[in-house]
Amino acid sequence: MHRRKKKLFISHCSSDAAIMQRFTDLIDETFKNTSVQVFNTFNEETGTDAGEDLSEALRNNLTDSDVMIAVITDNYMRSVKCFSEFSVFWYLSRTIIPIVLNGQQGKDFVTGVLGKEPIFLDPISNSGKDNSIKLYRTLQNLKFPTGFSKEEFCERFSAFFDNARQTRSVRPYIGSKGTFEDIVLYCTNNGIEKIADKTLGLSSIMERLRGCNDVFVVSTTGANLISGLSTSFLEEELLAGNNFTLLLPNKFSAFLADVAEIESPNDIEGNTGRLANAFDDIMTNLQRCVDSAAVKANGRPIGHVCVGCAYTLLRQTITIGLRGSSYWGWLSVTVPPSKTNDKTPSFSFSGDTSRDMFGSTILAHVMSLRSLAEKRGDLHELVPNGKKPNCFYLEPHSAKQYWKELQASAKSKQIEHISRGKGILIEAAAKHPLVMGRFPDAEFSERLNYAAELYHRFRTNEKDLPVMIYVPGSRHRSGTMSDCVSLSAAGREYLLEKGIPSEDVLGDEENRRYKGDDGVYNSADECFVASGLYNERFFKKLCCVCSPGQAARKQLFYLAFGVIPEIYTVPCDDSAHDFVYELLEAVPDVIYRDHTWQDKDSPNRIRTRNDRIPE
């Protein structure tokens, strides 16, 4: 009669290679040429066969084995697979022989699972000889024959037990002092539904977000998520009146430049381009979705799509959907050079905004990012057939290139004007408030005087060229007091009294033609109108007379409008333009953020009109 071989299952953690190498050699020598069959994945010969699925092999051999020797270490106790092997063998009521290499923690672990005082092999507390004798007797009692005599067996294993030591650790492990229960309890109380090392599938995300009144996404690029959502899902949600907010790092940010370099140190330029293209693709997809939803709505209101700059972005992806006071969300914490789908910690969670939970903290973080973007003027709503953002703002490494390109374009235009232009235009920058609401003050008068001096100089030196002076400025208010006439009218009257011909002084008519009811209320408006006149009438050159404090900002505005002017500054003892404000606040704002002050949502356009338009 054929008798089935006894089967011994060696349960160990793959991280304990140093221990397992010696122990595997001993086990192989002990049961060589015996009726015992050993399953040990550390040994290729007694583990899985070539091409065999490891999970299937573990499952089959685990359920088919008679005895398990478990090499208990801290690594073993932190391994879900090892914990599962141990638990399954206990569930099958099979004999487990634990070799405990991490002292009392391991004993507590084994006792906690088995529910009784087990047979320990304890190299820390007992001598190698005592442990080897105990192991030999246990194997004999279980009818597991060995290839050595008792003396030879004990001699070989004593050396192992005396020298086998693990690196000690105080880190918690599965089952230690309720740690596992504490983790489960924390997750339950905080609405954490799942912890994983990979992203959620797009279909799962859409299923959870469908019907949410507000959806917020924070991402490094969001390219994969947005391309998937914008196909039909986002359109349907917008048609249902639901809102979507996307927060991203700025396209030209130093943050993204660092991400590009860390991810691809050998192709920094290529990866930087990829991230920039991803930003553009996302904005195009979202704008297309808004346009399509508006057409399908046929006049009915749709939900809002906003994109904003995530100034304090960590390498993270957050998706949260709000439905009334309840929410569902997904968070992936990513640290370069990894990407979101490269086995980074991910959490899905749900809860109620009225409770202090894990998701409530994440939601507060997202809303803070949104609030900061709105405060800094970098939260933009995409409207049907509107202008999508090219970037949120410029940063030093990209601003130089941006303005160099504007300068090159303006320089090319300037060469054409110099060669074929038909006159000279002088802009005399205005200054408010007017004295008694009608007359230029000292600073404004000095600029007008210098403009008149330039006029006469050019008329003398360039006899064949017409010369004109443009005095900008609509009617202004300062505090509660409003001027009686426009700055243009006051400056024009002043120049006429200085002997400048009426036909050579431009002002209110040009203000209305180029700015309409919007008026001319700041330096940018002045440059906008002067640039329009320069191009329309094809002047040979444009001269700007202003105070020293505003010269840099005026130069930038002109570049933004495609013109390179000659700048003439007129000093004043009590100038309205503060150098510190201009150089450290106003000029950087024009360079990096609000380049022209002409957009309807420009904070500077809005501010100057609120402060200066008469009530």
Task: Provide the pLDDT for residue 48.
Answer: 44
Neighbours of 36 (CB within 10 A): 21
Cis preceding-peptide flag for 172 (omega within 30 of 0): no
Task: Provide the pLDDT for residue 116.
Answer: 65
**What confidence tens digit (pLDDT) does each residue in 217-236 have?**
998 887 778 888 877 899 99
Task: Provide the pLDDT for residue 262.
Answer: 85
Largest CA distance in the chain: 131
Number of residues written out for the chain: 615
Task: Provide the pLDDT for residue 462.
Answer: 79
Neighbours of 576 (CB within 10 A): 13
Q: Determine phi and psi for 98, rounding to 5 degrees.
A: -85, 130
Task: Provide the pLDDT for residue 179.
Answer: 63
Question: Per residue, what are the HEC states of 37-75?
Answer: EEECCCCCCCCCCCCCCHHHHHHHHHHHCCEEEEEECHH
Q: Residues 67-99, buried b or exposed e (16+ Cβ, 10 A)?
A: bbbbbbbbbbbbbeebbebbebbbeeebbbbbb
Task: Provide the pLDDT for residue 49.
Answer: 44
Alpha carbon distances (Å) from 5 to 24, 64, 298, 554: 19, 11, 78, 93
Token couple for 200: 């959620």
Instruction: Determine the Cα–Cα distance for residues 320 and 309; give it in Å rounded to an integer.
Output: 17
8 Å CB contact between 322 and 362: no
Give me Rg for the CA atoms of the chain: 39
Alpha helices, H only, 421-563? 442-461, 487-497, 508-515, 523-536, 551-560
Task: Provide the pLDDT for residue 313.
Answer: 72
Task: Provide the pLDDT for residue 168.
Answer: 64
User: Domains in the chain, please, with CATH?
Assistant: 6-163 (3.40.50.10140), 190-382 (3.30.870.10), 396-612 (no CATH)
Residue type at position 126? N
**What confidence tens digit (pLDDT) does each residue in 442-499 have?**
999 999 999 999 999 999 987 788 999 999 999 999 999 999 999 999 999 999 999 9
Task: Provide the pLDDT for residue 52.
Answer: 44
Instruction: Determine the Cα–Cα distance for residues 296 and 293; give it in Å rounded to an integer.
Output: 5
Q: Which residues of the chain have pLDDT under 70?
A: 1-3, 44-55, 116-119, 167-180, 335-343
| Count of CA atoms in the C-beta half-sphere (13 A) of 94 | 22
Instruction: Determine the Cα–Cα distance for residues 118 and 114; give it in Å rounded to an integer.
Output: 7
